[in-house]
Chains A and B, each alone.
Chain A
Amino acid sequence: DQQVKQNSPSLSVQEGRISILNCDYTNSMFDYFLWYKKYPAEGPTFLISISSIKDKNEDGRFTVFLNKSAKHLSLHIVPSQPGDSAVYFCAATGRLGQFYFGTGTSLTVIP
């Protein structure tokens, strides 16, 4: 049972434009959400997180939005750069602390 879903396996965006990666979750007990970036043959790297008490968190070019009523979060990258090309995983956790990951979205930023 996939509690965190990323329905877009891949996304292509022109350099300089906005990249929007989406994630849906089913468990209303999740209260902390994270985005990770992964290059081939490397472990995932933490990007940004958001607590359920917020609806937006910003860090440089990266912004995460949380819509609790829709059980949806999104990651915005503005402006997108070729170095952003990677697989992006969203993750969620709750009181028990176990992380649940989505299946990932492969982002390609075209120069």
Chain B
Amino acid sequence: KAGVTQTPRYLIKTRGQQVTLSCSPISGHRSVSWYQQTPGQGLQFLFEYFSETQRNKGNFPGRFSGRQFSNSRSEMNVSTLELGDSALYLCASRLTLNTEAFFGQGTRLTVV
């Protein structure tokens, strides 16, 4: 069974640009959530989607948005990139809302 797949693995963008990250969950998993990891901050929750609906949203500005498609694949978009957006972005999928989440390897975004 394939795990959670995130693309691309690495990305370098310039301040002011926008970026789209992609996540394919484990087959059969309908919940996809996104996290930002920066040194010393742990994993900060961005949002979670379940069956194409956003269920939860973390405390991030509106520049961060996401969506989920009917095949459960999810995308995350960050507009008007800032230097502070440089981080590892992790996607996780789970079967139901009260089971463990399985993470992808992440996308390392560097904003210059």
Contacts and interface: CB of A to CB of B under 8 A. Distances in A.
Interface stretch (B11-19, B33-41, B68-76, B77-85): B33-41
Given A49-B100, A97-B56, A99-B33, A104 B90 contact: no
A43 interface: yes
- Range for the number of chain B residues in contact with chain A: 20 to 34
B104 A43 contact: yes
A34 B94 CA distance: 13
Contacts, number: 57
A33 to B, nearest CB: 11
A63 interface: no
A96 B55 CA distance: 9
Interface of A: 6, 32, 34, 36, 41-46, 49, 89, 91, 93, 96-104
